[in-house]
Amino acid sequence: MRDKTVSAILAHAAASFPEECCGVVIQKGRVEKYIPCKNNAESPTEQFELNPEDYAAAEEQGTVVAIVHSHPGDGATTQPS
């Protein structure tokens, strides 16, 4: 994942704290982009549920190559899948 994408994810996680952030990474050609999505979960501090309209809008911009969510309280780090 590109540094710019990781930076966008970490910024979204920090801005969303103490709630879980969620979003998707899309690819279109050689361009990779993180798209934040609304967290529709009933308990957003404990879980995430991607907003389906946000996901559909992201799909229109490119191929979804990753679904991303944070773990509030676990620190701002990335984990391999």
Q: pLDDT tens digit string along 8-61?
A: 999 999 999 999 999 999 999 999 999 999 999 999 999 999 999 999 999 999
pTM recorded for the entire structure = 0.85
CATH superfamily of 3-69: Cytidine Deaminase, domain 2 (3.40.140.10)
Q: What is the pLDDT of residue 55?
A: 98
Q: What is the pLDDT of residue 22?
A: 98
Nearest to 34 by CA among 74, 75, 66, 56: 66
Please state the domain extents for the chain. 3-69
Q: What is the pLDDT of residue 78?
A: 54
Rounded Cα gap, residues 52 and 1, in angstroms: 24
| pLDDT of residue 70 exceeding 60 | yes
Query: How many Cβ atoms from other residues are within 10 Å of residue 80's Cβ?
Result: 3
**Better pLDDT: 29 or 75:** 29
